[in-house]
Amino acid sequence: MKVLKFGGTSVGSAKNINKVISILEQQSQDSKLAVVVSAVGGITDNLLDAGNLACSKDEAYLTHYNAIASTHKKVIEKLFEDFKTDKSSQKKHDELQKIVSKKLDGLKKLLDGIYLINELSPKTKDKLLSYGEMLSSTIIQKTLASRNLDVVLKNSQELITTDLNFNNAAVNFEITNANINTFFTSNANKIVVLPGFVSKSLTGELTTLGRGGSDYTSAIIAAATSAEELQIWTDVSGMFTANPKLVKHAKPITNLTYQEAVELSHFGAKVLYPPTVMPVLRKQIPIVIKNTLQPDAVGTTVSKEHKPNGQSPVKGISNIDHVALLTLQGNGMVGIPGFSKRLFETLAQEKINIILITQSSSEHSICFGISEHNALQAKTAIDTTFEYEIALKKIDPIIVETDLSIIAVVGDNMKSHQGISGKTFSTLGKNNVNIRAIAQGASERNISAVIHKNDVKKSLNALHERFFEVKTKQINLFITGVGNVGERLIDQIQQQQSFLKKNLQISLRIVGMSNSRKMVFKDDGINLEDWVSEFDFAEKSSINGFYKKAVEMNLRNSIFVDVTASEQVANIYSDYLKHSIAVVACSKIACSKDYETYKNLHDLSKKYNTPFLYETNVGAALPIINTLNNLVSSGDKVTNIQAVLSGSLNFVFNNFSDKNNFHDTVKRAQFEGYTEPDPRIDLSGIDVARKVLILARENGAAMEIEDIEVEPFLTKANLASTSVDDFYETLQQDEAHFQKLYASAEAKNCQLKYVAEYDNGKAKVGLQEIPEGHPFFNLEGKDNIVMFYTQRYPRQPLIVKGAGAGADVTASGLFADIIRIANN
Ligand code: ADP
Ligand code: ASP
Ligand code: MG
């Protein structure tokens, strides 16, 4: 014999029941079948809601009742599709509707009674909830019979005998097994349909086996009859590597051992009700989990056989929500036996199930996790048990923390692999998931962690990626300041997406972007083919709103990319870093502010193990900061830096001459995007000063901007201008001054270059006349050059040279920083 259990979705509609019927038609050809069914999907919850409403004197219970009645009636109408035209079908349809109506009348009376007496005891609740399975099993058995299958209905309440622990009754296996055997030995039908979940006490009271308990009913029958196989038919194709509703990349696990299935189900993999495994394990009956909606999918086989699932020793990751963590602590506990015994006895008396326990070796505290809805009950009971010790201040009143969840990493083979817990916790840590408690079973088959409920989805996905998808790493970008450079960056990302996936196993997605007006977010990535139209329906942007949303989305491997020149944006880098969101900035505001700010950001980056990169602050995409960092970290000493660092000034001095006046040349540089929006920042030398300041700081000097000597080449009037327009006017007026600078250099056959210099802790910037033969002399267009003189490069400097400005190269510099983080 085989036992098949069909869950709520499988019997949730006429369409699915028809699928169930074809599975049964096929399998009953070569085996006797015991078919256990759940209530129609959602009905148990509806019954509970109706009961609670009735109990609180809310007449809305009637609406719930009507919905329950109509759901069943409609299912029957659909199952007997031709009942309006076919006489024999009509007869069967009417007969079934009559039986069901009678049951529904009983339900209505019960609800009316609850309403009347204003009470819903656990005992009444079981009576109420049992209607779901009693109705569904009747409908399915009658429908199967109408399709000419040899089928009988057997009420499980007559077979499964329990204690009086309503809502979660314990089975008396001796009586139950005898009942089941007696029934099945004498039964000759090919198919026996039985309601799941429902049972009866020795004294004849209706009981249930706990929510999700139909799985358990089927396991009890399978074990008692020594069935060949137990099939659990549900709405997913087996036990997945993680809950497929939360982890998109989760995959079915083909094989699990009984122990692995126990751990996964106990730690929240709802597809299998935890007590289900034990009865069949004893008899070594395999459990096959299959999808009613895709019967051909392989599914999961649970047996004693150990078969690996790919490379990873981890088989699955599960989660339990609505967990409370209780801590009992106090100096009076140390070295005194019996505290744990009294604690756990109290919980047992209250029938509270403990999900996880940890005890520190100092014995100073015991910490355990239970279901959140038992928290208050547990606290009251424990505080009463330890009333005396609490009064004497030997122990503290129990501490209760709520809004928590547990995630568990499970696999038989974990015990023979080192580093699984290291990987687990470093992955969580990297993603800023705070771990409240940890437990590892002695079997080493399970590592579990208690975390905040808001971190569950992120943690599951990050761990899943770590253990099952090592091949691709998902990077989530939040880009703020989508203007000239930002647009190029988006284009470059779009072009490279498939290359990165294929060659670097990086799945790069933009999940948030903003410009000065609007901001848009997409959990599963913005469509980069048409990102412009994403802004059509976007919300109004704000710096804080963008930040808050990035934190709220709580995605793993998040990077905030600042493409603005806004000081306010730079001011909140620290907040991003504190939430483990990496920061990539082309704005140099943060790094060139006071040293304290610069240092603080680096300290935060270290503390939260979250990168803060800004290669584009100096020389756009040129590897200048990176080269300097490499020199310093490899033990070299940088003594002197000579550089031309302003692409804009270089462009201006390369194009300005006695034929092209200064004003027009600056205008052109701005038009072509080589200057800051305010060209005074470039021309005053302040921009170059900031760059050399950053280089000095990267080299370990705790310098401030005031420490940089700036020799301006602009006139007093230029420098005193109050607006950009005003500035351009003064440039025009002072043309003669600039021509003089040009003529002087020209006369000496020199080139004008704005040079930055760092020398052993001192730095200055200013215009210089560069003679022929000097490496700066032939610097073209918007190029930058940096010469590092170091202990290892004392005479011939290490030179980095190339385009140092422009939207495209700046975007590519940002992109390189992003990739560097992704590769980390
Ligand atoms: P049924 O009504 O058939 O008993 P359940 O809702 O009890 O179905 O269980 C199936 C559900 O379990 C799936 O739809 C899925 O959302 C959830 N689930 C949680 N964790 C897992 C997992 N690791 N693998 C498969 N399903 C899981
Ligand atoms: N119908 C019950 C519930 O929803 C039992 C089950 O479906 O397994 O909990
Ligand atoms: Mg279930």
Q: Percent of the chain beyond pLDDT 90? A: 85
- Residue 218 C-alpha to ligand 1 middle, in angstroms? 16
Lowest-confidence pick of 360-369, 571-580, 749-758: 360-369
Task: Indicate if the pLDDT at residue 433 is higher than 80.
Answer: yes
Of residues 100, 115, 39, the one with CA closest to residue 69:
100
The number of the ligand 2 atom at minimal distance from the alpha carbon of 273 is: 8
Q: What is the pLDDT of residue 46?
A: 98
3-class SS at 611? coil
What span, in angstroms and rounded, lies between the C-alpha atoms of 398 and 328? 5
pLDDT band at 665 (very low <50, low <70, confident <90, very high): very high
Map tokens 């329990």 to a residue: 162
The number of the ligand 2 atom at minimal distance from the alpha carbon of 39 is: 1
Q: What is the pLDDT of residue 455?
A: 95
Bridge pairing between strands 191-195 and 151-153: parallel
Nearest CA to ligand 2 atom 6: 212
Ligand 2 environment, Cβ below 6 A? 7-8, 38-39, 44, 132, 196-197, 211-215
Nearest CA to ligand 1 atom 10: 271
Give the residue-averaged pLDDT of 693-703: 97
Nearest CA to ligand 1 atom 11: 271
Ligand 1 environment, Cβ below 6 A? 7-10, 38, 212, 234-236, 239-240, 242-245, 269-271, 316, 318
- Residue 322 C-alpha to ligand 1 middle, in angstroms? 17
Mean pLDDT of the chain: 94
> Ligand 2: which of 36, 37, 38 to mutate, most ligand atoms within 8 Å of CB?
38
> Ligand 2: which of 5, 197, 198, 270 to mutate, most ligand atoms within 8 Å of CB?
197
Q: pLDDT tens for residues 706-722?
A: 999 999 999 999 999 99
3-class SS at 1? coil
> Ligand 1: which of 5, 209, 243 to mutate, most ligand atoms within 8 Å of CB?
243
341 is catalytic: no
Task: Indicate if the pLDDT at residue 657 is higher than 70.
Answer: yes
- Residue 231 C-alpha to ligand 1 middle, in angstroms? 14
pLDDT band at 591 (very low <50, low <70, confident <90, very high): very high
Token duo for residue 148: 């000419």
What span, in angstroms and rounded, lies between the C-alpha atoms of 568 and 547? 12
Task: Indicate if the pLDDT at residue 308 is higher than 90.
Answer: no
Q: What is the pLDDT of residue 330?
A: 86
Counts of helices then strands in the chain (DSSP H, E): 30, 30
- Residue 211 C-alpha to ligand 2 middle, in angstroms? 5
pTM: 0.74
Q: Which residues contact 593 (CB under 8 A, 6 or more apart)?
A: 570
CB 521 within 8 A of CB 511: yes
Nearest CA to ligand 1 atom 5: 271
Q: What is the pLDDT of residue 360?
A: 67
Q: What is the pLDDT of residue 805?
A: 81
Burial class (CB in 10 A: 0-12, 13-18, 19+), 592: buried
DSSP string, 218-234: HHHHHHHTT-SEEEEEE
Q: What is the pLDDT of residue 593?
A: 96
What span, in angstroms and rounded, lies between the C-alpha atoms of 688 and 672? 19
Residues β-bridged to residue 562: 480, 585
Task: Indicate if the pLDDT at residue 359 is higher than 80.
Answer: no
Give the residue-averaged pLDDT of 574-585: 96
The number of the ligand 1 atom at minimal distance from the alpha carbon of 240 is: 24
CB 24 within 8 A of CB 4: yes
Tell whether the torsion through CA atoms of 344, 442, 254 and 226 is positive or negative.
Answer: negative
- Residue 37 C-alpha to ligand 2 middle, in angstroms? 9
> 703-719 burial string, b = 16+ CB within 10 Å, else e?
bebebbebeebbbeebe
Listed in order, strand segments (DSSP E) in 525-564 are 539-540, 558-562
Residues of the chain with CATH 3.30.360.10: 624-805
CB 482 within 8 A of CB 520: no
Tell whether the torsion through CA atoms of 614, 616, 619 and 624 is positive or negative.
Answer: positive
Q: What is the pLDDT of residue 365?
A: 85
> 44-77 burial string, b = 16+ CB within 10 Å, else e?
bebbbebbebbbeeeeebbebbeebbebbeebbe
pLDDT band at 442 (very low <50, low <70, confident <90, very high): low
What span, in angstroms and rounded, lies between the C-alpha atoms of 343 and 353? 13
CATH class for the region spanning 624-805: alpha beta
Token duo for residue 729: 């006017």
Bridge pairing between strands 518-521 and 506-514: antiparallel
Fold for the domain defined by 473-617? Rossmann fold (3.40.50)
Nearest CA to ligand 2 atom 5: 212
Q: pLDDT tens for residues 20-31?
A: 999 999 999 999
Residues of the chain with CATH 3.30.2130.10: 316-461
Give the residue-averaged pLDDT of 757-774: 95
Bridge pairing between strands 558-562 and 582-585: parallel
Fold for the domain defined by 2-42+124-235? Carbamate kinase (3.40.1160)
Give the residue-averaged pLDDT of 731-744: 96
Q: What is the pLDDT of residue 361?
A: 61
Nearest CA to ligand 1 atom 9: 271
Q: What is the pLDDT of residue 177?
A: 98
The number of the ligand 1 atom at minimal distance from the alpha carbon of 41 is: 2
What span, in angstroms and rounded, lies between the C-alpha atoms of 569 and 624? 24
Task: Indicate if the pLDDT at residue 413 is higher than 90.
Answer: no
Q: What is the pLDDT of residue 153?
A: 98
Task: Indicate if the pLDDT at residue 525 is higher than 80.
Answer: yes
**In the 8-state DSSP scheme, what is residue 274?**
G
The number of the ligand 2 atom at minimal distance from the alpha carbon of 8 is: 7
CB 155 within 8 A of CB 195: yes
User: 339-343, long-range: CB within 8 Å, 24+ apart, which pairs?
Assistant: 339/366, 339/395, 340/366, 342/385, 342/386, 343/382, 343/385
Q: pLDDT tens for residues 212-241?
A: 999 999 999 999 999 999 999 999 999 999
Nearest CA to ligand 1 atom 16: 245
CATH class for the region spanning 316-461: alpha beta
Q: Which residues contact 554 (CB under 8 A, 6 or more apart)?
A: 454, 455, 457, 458
Q: Which residues contact 671 (CB under 8 A, 6 or more apart)?
A: none
> Ligand 1: which of 248, 270, 468 to mutate, most ligand atoms within 8 Å of CB?
270
Q: pLDDT tens for residues 477-517?
A: 999 999 989 999 999 999 999 999 988 989 999 999 999 99
Residue 666 φ/ψ region, left for φ over 0, alpha for ψ in the -120 to 50 degree band, beta for the rest = alpha
What helix, strand, coil percent values describe the chain, rounded to 5? 45, 20, 30
Residues of the chain with CATH 3.40.50.720: 473-617
- Residue 454 C-alpha to ligand 2 middle, in angstroms? 27
Residues of the chain with CATH 3.40.1160.10: 2-42+124-235
Q: Which residues contact 273 (CB under 8 A, 6 or more apart)?
A: 210, 212, 213, 214, 215, 216, 265
CB 171 within 8 A of CB 221: no
Integer-rounded Cα radius of gyration of the chain? 36
Residues β-bridged to residue 766: 711, 755
3-class SS at 377? helix
- Residue 552 C-alpha to ligand 1 middle, in angstroms? 26
Q: What is the pLDDT of residue 715?
A: 96
Residue 560 φ/ψ region, left for φ over 0, alpha for ψ in the -120 to 50 degree band, beta for the rest = beta
Backbone angles phi, psi at 287, to 5 degrees: -110, 130
Neighbours of 226 (CB within 10 A): 12
Of residues 459, 441, 449, the one with CA closest to residue 262:
441
Element (H, E) at 525: none
Map tokens 């990086």 to a residue: 506
Rounded to 5 degrees, what angle do the CA atoms 804, 806, 810 make?
75
Tell whether the torsion through CA atoms of 61, 62, 67 and 70 is positive or negative.
Answer: positive
Task: Indicate if the pLDDT at residue 331 is higher than 90.
Answer: no
Q: What is the pLDDT of residue 15?
A: 97
Q: What is the pLDDT of residue 822?
A: 94
> 255-283 burial string, b = 16+ CB within 10 Å, else e?
bbbbbbbbbbbbbbbbbbbbbbbebbbee
**In the 8-state DSSP scheme, what is residue 541?**
P
Task: Indicate if the pLDDT at residue 340 is higher than 80.
Answer: yes
Rounded to 5 degrees, what angle do the CA atoms 571, 758, 715 make?
75
pLDDT band at 362 (very low <50, low <70, confident <90, very high): low
Task: Indicate if the pLDDT at residue 416 is higher than 90.
Answer: no
| Residue of 290, 691, 753, 782 with catalytic role | 691
pLDDT band at 643 (very low <50, low <70, confident <90, very high): very high
Task: Indicate if the pLDDT at residue 199 is higher than 70.
Answer: yes
Ligand at shortest distance from the CA of 44: 2
Q: What is the dihedral of CA 569, 572, 578, 579, to 10 degrees?
A: -50
- Residue 197 C-alpha to ligand 2 middle, in angstroms? 6
Map tokens 């802004």 to a residue: 535
CB-side exposure of 657: number of CA atoms within 13 Å? Answer: 7
Rounded to 5 degrees, what angle do the CA atoms 535, 541, 544 make?
145
Q: What is the pLDDT of residue 470?
A: 64
Ligand at shortest distance from the CA of 265: 1
Rounded to 5 degrees, what angle do the CA atoms 34, 39, 43 make?
175
Task: Indicate if the pLDDT at residue 83 is higher than 90.
Answer: no
Q: Name residue 652's amino acid.
A: V
Q: pLDDT tens for residues 781-795?
A: 888 999 999 999 999
